[in-house]
């Protein structure tokens, strides 16, 4: 495909990938609309990328070895010991099982920064440019900004997250659905750990308890001095009525430093009563301005392209983070979009190919997220009864689709010519 004017709504990871895809696919002019006025590089949450998915994305030109990362090798599963961890040997909890875990972890901010640098200078990247709505036109699509003004494009790519203005126009009936539980997120400098040697750098910890679990791993710090940060996510349902105050019927989140007293109290209860001592202390080491809350939602659009609207990343599909594939899917969407552009003669042909390649992948990821949510939060087993063989069998059933960490990138998306 050659030529055309393309708008990308959203400038985070999915938006940068979409802008790269449009540029490499031959678009004449690309405009990125990002609602945030400042740099997105200050966001410090962690994410993980399966080694096999990294290799595919590196070949396709959407990741590279220069992006700071920490390598993980294994996943250790812990449950609180019967003595509550009073004995020295059980501060980490009783280890149920160990599994291979070939993942690379990243700090969201530095990863975005490297992707943003990869976007060519010829792409117009507008910050502080919130999009109010998009509209279909006879020859393409129109973007209307919240501050006023409108522009015409041959194609609009919605990479504007789970509250997407583009999806609202393309599929107004598709709404995020609350899953009934929450994710607490925290990250802090690794030097704050009292006994870092108890937990190996290459280990990811899954700390399980009735009705939830905690995941912990290290990520790059992202600052000029280097080093690591401790990144954790804790999933559990809140006490009755607590989530009602959050208005979870509407897609929302609580940024760092804004947790309510009731939510802080519930987190303190989990850390003190349900987690082994080491991991409870780790959660308590997190300062209030380092804590955020994310109600769990999921949905997937029935199509990834319709008319001259395209969806990518969380605008198209939000799967629960248990899948370990949110960022991977956003980057894969970019790689698939580029492949569709490069092999097509016009927008319509490209969008049909992209829709065929990505809609099923989004549905599979949502299905996996729901399966893992049931297994890890909503219908947890008696963890104390499981051993290595039992946990392996349980995990095999929970990950029935086999797409934990993301589906394989379809052939034809790489390697990218460098």
Instruction: Return the bridge partners of 183, or none.
Output: 235, 294
Return left, alpha or beta for 211; rule: phi > 0 is left, psi -120 to 50 is alpha, else beta. Answer: left
- Taking CA atoms, 56 is separated from 159, 191, 337, 410, 411, in Å, by 21, 33, 15, 9, 10
CA atoms within 13 A of residue 15's CA, in its CB half-sphere = 31
Note whether 185 and 290 are within 8 A (CB): no
Q: Distance between CA 210 and CA 22 in Å, rounded? A: 46
Instruction: Quote the CA–CA distance of 134 and 308 in Å, as a whole number.
Output: 11
pLDDT tens column, 45-77: 899 999 999 999 999 999 999 999 999 999 999
What gap in Å lies between CA 413 and CA 415, rounded to an integer? 7
Cis peptide before 83 (omega within 30 of 0): no
pLDDT score at 262: 85
What pLDDT is stored for residue 201 in this prediction? 97
Q: Tens digit of pLDDT for each residue in 287-297?
A: 998 998 889 99
Q: Is 200 exposed, middle or buried (0-12, 13-18, 19+ CB in 10 A)?
A: middle
Which residues, in sequence order, are CB contacts of 42 under 8 Å at separation 6+?
Answer: 109
3-state SS record for 25-93: CCCCEEEEEECCCCCHHHCCCEEEEEHHHHHHHHHHCCCCCCCCCEEEEEEEEEECCCCCCCCHHHCCC
b/e map of 113-134 (b: 16 or more CB within 10 Å)? bbbbebbeeebebeeebebeeb
d(CA 37, CA 304): 28
Largest CA distance in the chain: 72
Q: Which residues contact 314 (CB under 8 A, 6 or more apart)?
A: 14, 161, 162, 164, 326, 330
pLDDT at 254: 73
Q: What SS3 class is residue 175?
A: coil
Angle at 236 between CA 234 and CA 240, to 5 degrees: 140
Q: pLDDT digits over 254-298, tens only?
A: 777 777 888 889 999 999 999 999 999 999 999 998 998 889 999
The answer to whether the CB of 187 falls within 8 A of the CB of 46 is yes
Domains of the chain (ranges, CATH numbers):
5-42+109-176+299-376 (3.50.50.60)
Nearest to 232 by CA among 105, 65, 98, 68: 105
pLDDT of 123 strictly over 90 = yes
* pLDDT of 106 above 80: yes
């Amino acid at each position: 495909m050659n030529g055309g004017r393309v708008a990308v709504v959203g400038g985070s990871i999915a938006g940068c990938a979409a802008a790269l895809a449009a540029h490499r696919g031959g678009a004449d002019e690309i405009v990125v609309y990002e609602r945030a006025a400042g740099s997105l590089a200050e966001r410090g949450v962690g994410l993980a990328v399966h080694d096999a998915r990294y290799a595919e994305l590196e070949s396709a030109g959407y990741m590279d070895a220069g992006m700071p990362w920490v390598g993980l090798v294994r996943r250790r599963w812990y449950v609180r010991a019967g003595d509550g961890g009073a004995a020295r040997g059980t501060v980490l909890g009783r280890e149920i099982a160990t599994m291979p875990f070939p993942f690379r972890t990243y700090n969201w901010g530095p990863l975005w920064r490297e992707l943003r640098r990869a976007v060519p200078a010829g792409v117009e990247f507008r910050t502080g440019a919130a999009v109010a709505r998009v509209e279909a036109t006879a020859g393409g699509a129109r973007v209307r900004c919240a501050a006023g003004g409108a522009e015409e494009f041959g194609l609009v790519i919605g990479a504007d997250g789970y509250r997407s203005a583009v999806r609202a126009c393309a599929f107004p009936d598709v709404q995020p659905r609350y899953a009934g539980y929450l994710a607490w997120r925290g990250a802090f400098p690794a030097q704050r750990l009292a006994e870092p040697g108890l937990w190996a750098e290459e280990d990811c910890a899954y700390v399980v308890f009735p009705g939830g679990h905690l995941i912990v791993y290290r990520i790059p710090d992202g600052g000029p001095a280097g080093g690591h940060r401790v990144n954790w996510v804790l999933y559990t349902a809140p006490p009755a009525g607590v989530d009602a105050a959050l208005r979870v019927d509407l897609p929302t989140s609580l940024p760092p430093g804004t947790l309510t007293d009731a939510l802080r109290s519930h987190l303190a209860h989990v850390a003190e009563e349900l987690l082994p001592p080491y991991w409870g202390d780790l959660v308590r080491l997190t300062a209030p301005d380092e804590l955020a809350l994310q109600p769990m939602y999921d949905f997937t659009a029935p199509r990834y392209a319709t008319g001259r609207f395209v969806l990518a990343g969380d605008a198209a599909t939000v799967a629960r983070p248990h899948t370990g594939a949110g960022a991977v899917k956003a980057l894969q969407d970019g790689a698939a979009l580029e492949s569709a552009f490069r092999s097509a003669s016009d927008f319509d042909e490209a969008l049909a190919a992209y829709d065929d390649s990505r809609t099923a992948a989004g549905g599979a990821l949502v299905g996996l997220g729901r399966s893992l949510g049931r297994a890890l939060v909503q219908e947890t087993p008696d963890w104390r009864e499981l051993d290595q063989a039992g946990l392996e069998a349980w995990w095999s059933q929970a990950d029935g689709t086999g797409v934990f960490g993301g589906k394989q990138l379809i052939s034809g998306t790489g390697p990218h010519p460098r």
